Amino acid sequence: MREKTILADIYPSFTSSKIRNYISLTKPRLLSSVIFSAALGYILPLDSVLSVSSLLYLLLGTALLGGGAHSLNQWQEQVPDSKMNRTRNRPLPMGKLSGNEAFGFGIIISIAGIATLWFGINSITSALGILTLLSYAIVYTPLKQKTVANTWFGGITGALPPVMGWTAARGQLDWEVLPIFALLYFWQLPHFFAIAWMYRDDYRRGGFKMLSLEDQTGKKTGVQMLLNGGMLFIASLAIFMIGQGSLVYLAGASLLGLGFMIVITLFCFTSNFNNARKVFLASIFYLPILGIIIILERFLII
């Protein structure tokens, strides 16, 4: 009887608390955008035959690998996270998980993700997954404490998942993947510049080197948003120009791009928290809506 009581005490604690904390390590909201972008890369090539099994392997492998990368990132940044208001309630700063638990969890699910991509899809997709993981953990994360250029380097990491999706569908790298890579790259920059502007005091406490910390007026941040927003607009049109989208896509991409540029321009004229938040929210809506257009078009064409 006592043994049952002990197990009853331990098991609920593990399932309800520990599991939630481990899931939190994977940064579910950010992870969902990674998985979505990989799916876009898979669906985009019009001359590929879609396979439910390979798509599922892609989504599972990307989820495991991305979750592992995010867990290792939190393990690496547990000290600065404890100093920032927006991150101090994460499992590691709060002591809900130990550093060893986070590190072990990150390594295990990363390896599981790499294996899933390798055996479930192909070696090139798995290799791109490894590149994504290493660039995030070894390049981007350390650079955040050293140079404002970290945002541009981090954009490369974030733009690799759609390339993984493309190679999962085609079994090879093609030059036609460049527009979707560029789209994800240039989408991230205004998105993260907006976040860095809104939470610049937090980033300063955490010791991160961000453009916004050297830009009290917001002019430098606004210029970068505008430049990269323009490049995003061009990248979105390039998908149509290489024959991977119809006139419906072109119209949707044009309207979304122009709308995004208008919101960015508002920040350029008046650089404040509210307008930075509008840029952030516009970026949040932009990618899913454009992705839905691509997905609907793909299945309608089929």
pLDDT tens sequence across 48-105: 778 899 999 999 999 999 999 999 999 999 999 999 998 999 999 999 999 999 999 9
Q: What is the pTM of this model?
A: 0.91
Band (pLDDT 50/70/90 cuts) for residue 298 is: confident
Among residues 114, 118, 44, 34, the alpha carbon closest in space to that of 70 is found at 34
Indicate if the pLDDT at residue 2 is higher than 70: no
Measured CA to CA, the distance from residue 280 to residue 229 in angstroms comes to 12
Stretch 253-267: mean pLDDT: 97
DSSP 8-state assignment for residue 271: -
Measured CA to CA, the distance from residue 216 to residue 197 in angstroms comes to 9
Band (pLDDT 50/70/90 cuts) for residue 272 is: very high
Band (pLDDT 50/70/90 cuts) for residue 301 is: low
Q: What are the structure tokens assigned to 79, written together? A: 């000290």
CATH T-level assignment (fold) for domain 174-302: Four Helix Bundle (Hemerythrin (Met), subunit A) (1.20.120)
Between 113 and 50, where is the model more confident? Answer: 113
Between 295 and 186, where is the model more confident? Answer: 186
Residue 245: the pLDDT is 87
Helix runs in 150-272, H state only: 150-158, 160-170, 178-198, 200-206, 219-241, 247-269
Q: What are the structure tokens assigned to 29, written together? A: 């909201």
Hey, what's the torsion of the CAs at 6, 9, 15, 20, to 10 degrees?
-140
Lowest mean pLDDT among 126-130, 198-202, 229-233: 198-202
Residue 4: the pLDDT is 46
Percent of the chain with pLDDT over 90: 85
Q: Using only the alpha carbons of the chain, give its radius of gyration.
A: 20
Return mean pLDDT, the chain. 92
CATH superfamily of 27-173: UbiA prenyltransferase (1.10.357.140)
Where do the structural domains in the chain lie, given as residue ranges? 27-173, 174-302
Stretch 173-190: mean pLDDT: 96
Measured CA to CA, the distance from residue 168 to residue 239 in angstroms comes to 19
Percent of the chain with pLDDT over 70: 94
Indicate if the pLDDT at residue 15 is higher than 80: no
